[in-house]
Structure 1
């Protein structure tokens, strides 16, 4: 943990949530309780801390990032990111959010309640009157139960199936990549993706995994329809697709002869992608765990009927440089 981050945490944590707590004592107490992070989690920590700087405008993205997670980095107890982000969101949520905002950002509310109940916070005798309340969620449920008599229900629309066809996967060409001026773990790349509006800017947490010179003048595969997010003051408009295991991360390789903007898709899922994926529907988050590589280094999507290759329109396959049976994200 950097001195700057620890200083921010100790001051914010103490002043925002604790009664008469000495910042140095708080810092010393929590430092030994923080989980040890993997390099991947450290990169993710940089991203989510940057996202939280724009709270509450980034509430929907933060809510999506917390979907299905106990704590924001996937740890089994609160991390540095959880504590700093809690300190940043506590006051806007507690003082300004309406009942509807509570409901639409339920992941944030439930996560915040876990932080409040965690041993790391309880040990410091916090001011519980300043806690984020989950009552708005509970009250909504109670009101529903008290309503007497059946109400006519509108006809339910059958939900469209979530398939890889909804994800806009394309070949991109990195014109130039530089290190983010305010985030040590991030690259900022200018990537041509075939858009009529020109190249896009993309932030990637790859500094610890891929040398800067290997990020220049090369073809990659990108996810082009994620909702843009601002990362430490720079708007990121896509995501670079990588293969990864616990030891290594590497950029996947587009088919031979590819050019910027070429569509790639999983076999059987050559549909029309969404213009922009809705973070609340968690489409990419639902599909991505089934993106992987096989023993031939081919990128595939696993289904109950078997694996589907990631190909271009003439059937050439997207490959990983070296990682077999690796996650692709």
Structure 2
């Protein structure tokens, strides 16, 4: 009765749980070993930013969950085989064993089923250890975080550093995409997410197209609203800014779902809407203050409108570089 209950319970879990329908493909362990080795280098160096560590931790948590699901599937398979083997009649003390072939076949299957279980357990333990180490680094940093004075983004050395880091990040992104194209698991992920990718790209195109339409209609809107044309222009410009930022967000989401980017690529794509927001906001503010049809001030004759916008955009680029150095490019130093 106990064996029957155990068998039914295992069978129910295997059929009902979606995660049991798929284990960890053998080729996926190659990707995991590469990510784990890189994560161990990051942890050992302990120089990556908190944002980079959080992104790395999130990726390892996803891996750990996959290994946990794989263990559950493999445990169920091992338990079924053990029950089948135990259900056979005992080996006779004398004479030939009529169930010898069946007993040998089940033993062989049991050994084969235990191999992926042990592999999943080892990978799970490795992932848990990395997560603990990352948590310890982040926790230790938070103690002194408020007492540290960050470097100014105006430092000239940051521009040279940024140029070097950009080249390194681009090279790393090319390597990540190249590796993903040669990885069967990454290609399978791309195919499974193809519909979501198409939807995200469609939204991106719609947002960009909508923003351009708002620009074309903003002038007519401000002319038609005679009582307060500046308010009408402000509303139209705000809508355009929001749509452009949303377009970069959906574009980054679509590229992430392709599965062709690793930790470095994920950091860049996550930061892309923030960088775009800096620049778009700079253009928006410069237009509202001193340039464009909805400006709040009239410039002196010796100041060009274009210089105001260039100044604001340059300031935005400084903040973009500072954000990239602190949250994205630092990962290139340890990968």
TM-score if structure 2 supplies the norm length? 0.25
The structure carrying a bigger helix percent of its residues is 2
The structure carrying a bigger strand percent of its residues is 1
**Which of the two has higher C-alpha Rg?**
2
